[in-house]
Amino acid sequence: RRFVWWKLCVLTLILIGAAFLQKTELLLLFGIKANFVLALFIVYAFLVDSVPYVLFTIIALFALSFEGFFSLTTLGLFVVALVLFFLRTYLPWRRPLVLLVCVAVGTVLFYLIVNPPFLLLSPTTVFLEFLYTGCIAVASFFVLDSFFHS
């Protein structure tokens, strides 16, 4: 299938919007905030081919980095985005289920890189964040999939 670069620009703008949303207290659900950026990286892994995805990931993380390009958060998101891009090709299930598995793996891997003690000290919060991020990822996938393949 032919990749359309303008769609990558639209996806980048959506991701930048999600990053700004991530920095606010909007959409807190009982004190839990979804990882909107992680959800979109996972969704994009299903929509974009390998070379554009890697380029998109690098450009997006550079554009989204509020703490400097080589912050631990930026590095964590980059590693998670690439791992999940390759992981999704090896999971043989239906896409919504694979999305949720990728969100679970991505959430745990992200915290292992950025803040390992948080996984042990707040497992309920991590689980609720996974559920919230999973809902965002599945909903985003269905909306963006129809846009991307139109």
State the CB neighbour count (10 A cutoff) for residue 44.
26
Cα separation, 146 vs 125, in Å, equals 32
Tell me how long the chain is.
150
The answer to whether the Cα torsion of 24, 30, 31, 32 is positive or negative is negative
What confidence score (pLDDT) does residue 45 get? 83
What confidence score (pLDDT) does residue 51 get? 67
Closest CA to 147 of 46, 26, 63, 22: 46
Tens of pLDDT along the chain (150 residues)?
Answer: 555 677 777 887 888 888 888 878 888 888 898 989 889 888 888 887 776 677 777 776 776 665 555 678 877 888 888 888 888 778 777 878 888 999 999 999 999 999 999 999 999 999 999 999 999 999 999 998 887 776
Buried residues in 70-85 as b, exposed as e (16+ CB within 10 A): eeebbebbbbbbbebb
**CB pairs under 8 A, 24+ apart, for 87-96?**
88/42, 88/45, 88/46, 95/46, 95/141, 96/138, 96/141
At residue 143, φ and ψ (nearest 5 deg) are -70, -50
Q: Residue 33: left if φ>0, alpha if ψ -120 to 50, beta else—which one?
A: beta
What confidence score (pLDDT) does residue 140 get? 92
What confidence score (pLDDT) does residue 26 get? 86
What confidence score (pLDDT) does residue 66 get? 57
What confidence score (pLDDT) does residue 63 get? 65
